[in-house]
Every structure is written in C-alpha cells, then in structure tokens.
Structure 1
Amino acid sequence: MRDRIETPRLTLRRLRGDDAGALSALADDAGVARMLTRMPHPCPPEATAAYIRGCEGEPWVYCVTLAEAPIGAVAVEARLGYWIGRPYWGRGYAFEAASALVDAWFTASDTPLETGVFADNPASRRILARLGFRETGRRLQASLGRPEPDDYITMRLDGDDWRAARRIDRAEQEE
C-alpha cells in the first residue's frame, strides 16, 4: 500500500474531503452510475462526502487525478472497482489507473482480486480482460444506478494470470 501511485499521465492519491465536489459532479451522470453497483443517481455531494469519510484509513482507495484534478476513483475494497468521469472516457485513463492499482496490489500481496462488470459494459470488460481477469460466473446484480437488477459478470485475477497479462501487455507495447 502506498499513499501515491504515479503513472505516465495520472496520479492515484488518497481521497480527501475537498475531492467531494469535483467527484460528485463527475459521478452525477446516469451513464457512470449505471455501470457501478454502489453509486446512486443522482449523486449529491453529501453522498460523495460520506463515501470519502468512510474510506478514511482504507489502504487501497485512491482518487484518480490528472494534472492534480480529480477525474475518478479506483479501489480494492473486498473487490476491485474503478470509474472515470465521462469527459475523460476513451483516453485510456481507466486502464492506466486500474493497471497501476493492480500492479501495486500484486507487488504487495499474492491474494487474488475479484471484481465484476455489468454485461452491457464492453469497455470495462476489455479493460479487465487486458489486466488478466477471467470470468468466473454470471448473476443478476442490483445497482443504485439502475432501476432493477441486471446481468453481471463476476471475474477473478490471481498472481500468475496477472504476471502473464503483464508480459503480454509489455510485448504488445514494444511492437
């Protein structure tokens, strides 16, 4: 666990109380909330502030920042989770942030990671597959951002699969 994780374009740092306004503005988007299980929509600043207070002392919860401005969050709280605000979609930031946290996780521990993704979120499924996650099952999953439970894919990553995915990703980058 580190207080900060640097990537070529992003900084992952501890959540702070003053992040609530910026993160709430980005999170108050139905397209973002519907892809997550615990984010309400609408997402008032009070809900974001309460989440940040609840994360105090959690070792694997980070604010994703670009040039010091919050653009999303990434965490391991029983499961890997991440989100990036819509203005920043399509630029590889979600993969970069999730990859950095997964790398830090497996550098510190060999405990497997679990996560999940709604079936109608192909972008996140591609990110998780690129990280080495494998599908372990499907179920209906409730979400605070959806009117009813929906098809959800559960996934898992162990240290060996992570190491194999890192080798493949590095080889593709060198080509």
Structure 2
Amino acid sequence: MTNLADTLNQGDLRLRPPVDTDLPDLLRHLNDIRIVRWLAAVPQPFDTGAADGLLAHGMHAGENLRLIELGGSVAGGLCIGASLWYWLHPAFWRRGLMRRALDLAIPAYFTHPAPPLIATCHTENVASRSLLASLGFSPCLAGRRMFFQSTQSAEPCLDYLMAPEQWHLLHPPIIPVGRASLRPAQQKDARQLALILARVGGGVWPNADALPSFMENHRFRGQSRGLFVIIDEYRRCIGMALMTGYHADLCFLSDDDEARHRTNISAALANRMFSHA
C-alpha cells in the first residue's frame, strides 16, 4: 500500500520506485561515508543483503521509497511514511535538488489523509536542518540520541515535525480555472465571504453569524474537499466553492461574476474531483 503515486515528474526531475538495475547506484551511494554519515539506520558496509532489506522496507504498508532521478541519472533517494529520510550523492549537492524533490513528494503524500511526518536530523547536519525549516517543519524542543551504524555510536539528533494541517496552511494549493483561480478559504476571508452570503443565503450556505464555524468545519485538509474562495483576474474575491466528494456548490458575489465564471469552474472542479477520487 502506498500514499504516493509511483512516479512524480517536474521537468528533468523524476521520483520513481527503485528497480533491479538500480542496485549499483544504491551500493555506490550508500557506501559513501559522506552520505551515510547522516543516515542512522543504514548498515555499513551496505551490501546486496542490506539493499534487499531497504527495498523490502520501502514496500511496507504506508512506506514510499523513491529514487530521485535528474536527467536520467540517479541522484539520490527518499522514503516518506512513518518517518521522512533522504539522501543525495555529493555530485548533486548545492543545486536545490532535494528541495525540489520534497516539494514534489510531500504534497503528493498529504493529498490523501496521512499521519504527520517526522524527520530526524543529526544536530551537525546543518544543510538538512535548514532545508526542513525552510519547508515549514517545526523542530521539537527536546533532542535525543540515535545510534548511527556508520560510527557505531549514539549521537545527538533533533526531530522535525510536519502535520498535514500545517502543510496545507503553509502551502495552500492554487487551482487555476481560465481567468479565475481557487485557493482554500481562511478566516481572514470571512468579511468578504459574508458579503457573498448576504446575496445568496440558504441552501448549503450558512448565515453570516455561523460563517467562522462553517469555515473551520470545511477547512481544506487535502484531497479535493473543503471551502475555497474564487479569485478573478483582478485579484477580487468573487465567490466560494464548497467541494464535497464528487460535488461542488458555487456561489458568486454578483450575477455578472456568475455568468462569466460558473460554467468553466464547474467543469474544472468536476474533472479535478474525479481525478483525485
């Protein structure tokens, strides 16, 4: 079972499951002390038996082991599931590649309901700690020690946490629809949304007094569900979309806004909800 699509692509970057022909790259990467210095659980030396164990772990329910491929070359790997861990070969360091890989993997992981992610860093791994902080991971206050296979010693580490709600708040999806776009509603939108409710009223929509709780109950939590605001090409908030399962209810600030956008938005959301089912 997996939370992640088998393959994720962005330009020349590709995340994919490992195959048998990747064994030489895995052995080369995970016997390199510059890499395994920061990977606590990777045995040393890393032989074919250890590789088989890694591949078996990546097939466990909820685990997602993917190799990071850049321009057809294996640059590293990541595993996202009960914990998040990753590596890059030094030839690919300092290019922002791991940031790109995690920007692909984490949203895909949180598209469906999933537990929080925990990434554990050696306290001296400044690059990894900076990366996690830039993505919005929260450092836990208490450090701990982990046993590292490469040094055969317990070393100081720090856990970083990312909850699904935290990710969606920091990285809200933007859905382009023709000349309009949709983004998850936030409490700061309440005043403008109340103006829209004053026009439509009734049905699935609450009265203005109940709007804050309505927004919280329908807060975007992944998948194609939740309350979205509709923004036009002039950055005006012109409507709302309540997406629940296979259905979307729309309301607009004016008849003109509705006439211009309803058909395109309804069609686009129907396709999106079906593709994310």
| Bigger radius of gyration among the two | 2
- Contact 2:58/2:79 (8 A) holds in 1: no
Question: 1:160 is matched by which residue type in structure 2?
Answer: E
- The counterpart of 1:132, out of the listed 115, 124, 136, is 136
Greater relative contact order structure (CA < 8 Å, 6+ sep): 1
Aligned residue number for residue 24 of structure 2: 21
Aligned residue number for residue 90 of structure 1: 94
Aligned residue number for residue 73 of structure 1: 77
CA gap 1:23/1:104 in 2 versus in 1, 3 angstroms? same
- Contact 1:17/1:49 (8 A) holds in 2: no
- Contact 1:10/1:66 (8 A) holds in 2: yes
Q: What secondary structure, in the 3-state scheme, does the structure 2 residue paired with 1:99 have?
A: helix
Q: What secondary structure, in the 3-state scheme, does the structure 2 residue paired with 1:81 have?
A: strand
- Contact 1:80/1:115 (8 A) holds in 2: yes
Aligned residue number for residue 173 of structure 1: none
Please say which of residues 20-29 and 121-130 is displaced more in the overlay.
Answer: 20-29
- How far residue 93 of structure 1 moved from its aligned partner, in angstroms, is 1.2
What is the distance in 1 between the residues matched to 2:43 and 2:90?
16
Instruction: Indicate the RMSD between aligned Cα atoms, in angstroms.
Output: 1.9
Aligned residue number for residue 106 of structure 1: 110
Give unpaired runs (5+ residues) of structure 2. Answer: 173-277
What is the distance in 1 between the residues matched to 2:145 and 2:19?
33
- Contact 1:118/1:153 (8 A) holds in 2: yes
- Contact 2:81/2:117 (8 A) holds in 1: no
Residues 38-81 of structure 1 show CA distances to partners (whole Å, capped at 9, x for unaligned) of: 11233234422442244346552111111222111111231011
Residues 83-132 of structure 1 show CA distances to partners (whole Å, capped at 9, x for unaligned) of: 11111111111111122111111112253111110001000001111111
Is residue 11 of structure 1 aligned with residue 4 of structure 2? no
Write out the 4+ residue segments of structure 1 that deviate beyond 3 Å after TM superposition: 56-59
Q: What secondary structure, in the 3-state scheme, does the structure 2 residue paired with 1:82 have?
A: strand
- How far residue 164 of structure 1 moved from its aligned partner, in angstroms, is 4.0
The TM-score normalised by the length of structure 1 is 0.86
CA gap 1:2/1:134 in 2 versus in 1, 3 angstroms? same
Please say which of residues 144-153 and 35-44 is displaced more in the overlay.
Answer: 35-44
- 1:25-174 equivalence runs, <5 A: 25-56=28-59, 60-136=64-140, 137-166=142-171
Identity rate of aligned residues, in percent?
23
Aligned residue number for residue 231 of structure 2: none
Question: 1:86 is matched by which residue type in structure 2?
Answer: P
Residues 13-46 of structure 1 show CA distances to partners (whole Å, capped at 9, x for unaligned) of: 1111211111211221112101011112332344
- How far residue 9 of structure 1 moved from its aligned partner, in angstroms, is 3.2
Aligned residue number for residue 170 of structure 1: none
